[in-house]
Chain A
Amino acid sequence: MATDPATELSLDSRARSNAGSTRGASAGEGPWRLAWRRLRRRRTPLVFAGLFVVLVASALAAPLWAKHVAHTGPSTNHLADTIEVDGRQRNVVELNGVPIGPTYQGEFFLGADGNGRDIMVRLLYGGRNSLLIGIAAALITTLLAVASGLLAGYFRGWVDAVIARSLDVLWAFPVILLGVALGTALALGGLQLGPITIAGDSKLIPIIVIAVVYVPYMARPIRGQVLALREKDFVEAARAQGAGPLRIMFVEILPNLASTITVFFPLLVANAVLLEAALSFLGAGVQPPGTSWGTMIDEGVQRIATAPHLAIVPGVMLVLTVLALNVFGDGVRDALDPRAKVRIEH
């Protein structure tokens, strides 16, 4: 793919001229390699990409921390337990209901919540859900957006009319309103798609809701690109060689969308993680006993007057994750397609 001349069209002229000097030295380098070079030269996006990897790794390691350091599970209550902090025995949850703050030792590293559950353990397990939902939703959005953008842009006519109108309708809703409406309705009754039944408290529900809600934001620019690409000479040439619509869409046009998709993806994940938190905050996302950063913030905000750390800790994790993705996504955009207009609401 790196040497496919078609791919190069997706790089805009400024990006190409920026790379002009390096190209002279190594003729024939593909656009992906050039983009990688430009990305590598900037330290900040890579540092933040590293931060994101660390966050994902720590979420994956949640069971290890729970078993070997905290010695408790994410849903285990310790209402009546005591813990030794600096040589003193303290209640995990005081008699007036105020939970212990950060101890900075293995057990209750970041304190406990109102039920005496270990916040650090919940944070790691909640991160698993938040990240899983964010990444899975972004993958599905990308799939749906590319498919609908390709179909609409390539076939035009009534196919385009139907798809573009549907996207307009989805787009006319405030993201959060549609997400909450879908999320609540589905959480109560579950979803039945032919033979597949999804239970109301399944994580698939927020994943599907978030994925659907963001499709128009990505499908619209892709459709526009496909409309322009299908008029290019290389598509004409492929058609002259007898290539059918499927081959033209997937072999000729799709590679040219790769840079747009790459630019969109990290930012989509960032917004999906944020939307998951917002939906969970409103009770339309992850359902109990499941936990995510959004549900933790929700619980924390309700008890903010007595135990502010309950709201602060998951929020900081969320901001770090989204920030890492945003900075990395910015770097990717600068390297691949500096003029790409990416706009996603949350």
Chain B
Amino acid sequence: MARFALRRLLSMVFVMFACSVLVFLIFNVIPNGDPAVRMAGKVPTETQIEAIRAEWGFDDPIWVQYWTTMEKVFTGDLVSYFTQSNVVEEIANRAPRTFALAIGAAVIWMLFGVAFGLFSAVKAGKFADRGLTVLALIGISMPVFWIGALMNYYLGFKAGLFPNGGYVPFTESPIQWLWHLILPWTALSILFIGFYSRVLRSDVLDTMNEDFVRTARAKGLSERQVLVRHVLRNSLIPITTLWGLDFGFVLGGGAILTESVFNLQGVGQYAADAIGQLDQPPIMAVTLFAAFFIVFVNAIVDVVYAGLDPRIRLQ
């Protein structure tokens, strides 16, 4: 078990390393103009450009540039090319916003996904099931930035029920914090609720055909007990894996679109803004941040699974 966990950890470090190299290459090998020229302003002189090049190390060999960038990421000295602000500090300041979005949305989508999926499975084939299936399919077909913008406009701007985007720290005003997050949570959850309810529905229907469910019924358990203790407990395993992965994805700033539409100023929006300016250091740092959460949660899920199911360890 410990060996499996260690191997998983090593491969996690490797994947993160590869991610950072890939991002670095995207911005250095693809010809997108010299960052020194872009930084020098509108009418730069050749000496200005040379000076910037030397100061920022753009004339070093590419692997030296990679090394210095990574060194700065880990010592916390990474500085944005364009705003000149410290990237690691910036991410640390924005992380609570992203975490608040991720945690709230993850709880909402899991609860509703399980509730709708279970209800759908119990009513399989009936009108309620079909209605929920249609809703779920519409949910997974809607772009989050579109539904988010419409919610912002109709519920926030027109009806005045919610604030028009933005974020208020929990320490400042818990009520305002909640008020500002309700729409983003909802918009982000819609897709996942649709997806999870469908996964759970099919898992529950599969589990219902298992022998142990028949045994549970035969020994006289009520339908509710069978459903909750035997069927649901089994069907929750695959959906919990999905939940872990998606949660890691949103924690790492993967909800770029939601953060941008509601102007939450989280880590994802930081990346989106930096990409617009081709500001490489923040993108490097956010990518590592995101990859860390995805790979980390993935590793945890694998190790937990290996603990539950010894067959996996042998692979």
Contact = CB atoms under 8 A, between A and B. Distances in A.
Contacts of A159: none
Nearest to A305: B157
Contact of A184 (B31, B256, B268, B275): B275
Contacts of B23: 181
B162 to A, nearest CB: 15
Given A177-B290, A180-B275, A281 B257 contact: yes
A195 B32 CA distance: 18
A172 B295 contact: yes
Contacts of A326: 137, 140-141
B103 interface: no
A304 B149 contact: yes
A330 B137 contact: yes
Given A176-B254, A181-B283, A189 B30 contact: yes
B276 interface: yes
Given A169-B15, A185-B30, A305-B153, A174 B249 contact: yes
B125 to A, nearest CB: 13
Interface in B251-293: 252-254, 256-257, 260-261, 268, 271-272, 275-276, 278, 283, 286-287, 290-291
B22 A297 contact: no
B150 interface: yes
Contact of A185 (B26, B140, B149): B26
B19 A173 contact: yes
Interface string B1-42: 000000000010011101100110011001111000000000
Contact of B253 (A177, A190, A274, A343): A177
A168 interface: yes
Nearest to B284: A181
Contacts of A176: 254, 256-257
A180 B272 contact: yes
Interface in A309-346: 311-312, 315, 318-319, 322-323, 326-327, 330, 343, 345-346
B204 to A, nearest CB: 14
A283 interface: yes
A282 interface: yes
B143 interface: yes
Given A188-B278, A282-B272, A318-B146, A323 B256 contact: no
Given A180-B275, A190-B31, A305-B157, A323 B141 contact: yes
A308 interface: yes
A177 B253 CA distance: 9
Contact of A297 (B11, B145, B152, B275): B145
A171 to B, nearest CB: 8
Contacts of B253: 174, 177
Interface residues of A, number: 46
Contacts of B290: 173-174, 177
A323 B291 contact: no
B116 to A, nearest CB: 17
A278 interface: yes
A308 B256 contact: no
A169 B14 CA distance: 9
B145 A189 contact: no
Contacts of A305: 153, 157
B32 A189 contact: yes
B221 interface: no
B225 to A, nearest CB: 27
A315 B146 contact: yes
A345 B249 contact: yes
A172 B149 contact: no
A277 B286 CA distance: 22
B257 A177 contact: no
B49 to A, nearest CB: 18
A319 B191 CA distance: 12
Interface string A43-80: 00000000000000000000000000000000000000
A277 B143 contact: yes
A150 to B, nearest CB: 21
A259 to B, nearest CB: 18
Given A185-B278, A188-B33, A304-B153, A173 B143 contact: no
B128 interface: no
Contacts of B33: 188-189
Contact of B150 (A174, A190, A312): A312
A172 B13 CA distance: 12
Contact of B294 (A172, A190, A274): A172
A83 interface: no
A282 B260 contact: yes
B304 interface: no
Given A172-B19, A188-B33, A305-B157, 14 more contacts: A174-B290, A177-B256, A177-B268, A177-B290, A180-B256, A188-B278, A189-B33, A277-B143, A284-B275, A304-B153, A311-B149, A315-B146, A318-B143, A326-B137
11 contacts: A174-B294, A176-B254, A177-B253, A182-B26, A184-B278, A185-B32, A283-B276, A301-B261, A311-B150, A326-B141, A330-B137
Interface of A: 165-166, 168-169, 172-174, 176-177, 180-182, 184-186, 188-192, 270, 274, 277-278, 281-284, 297, 301, 304-305, 308, 311-312, 315, 318-319, 322-323, 326-327, 330, 343, 345-346
Instruction: List 7 A-B pairs, minimum CB-CB distance, nearest first.
Output: A174-B254, A189-B32, A322-B141, A189-B31, A323-B141, A188-B32, A315-B146
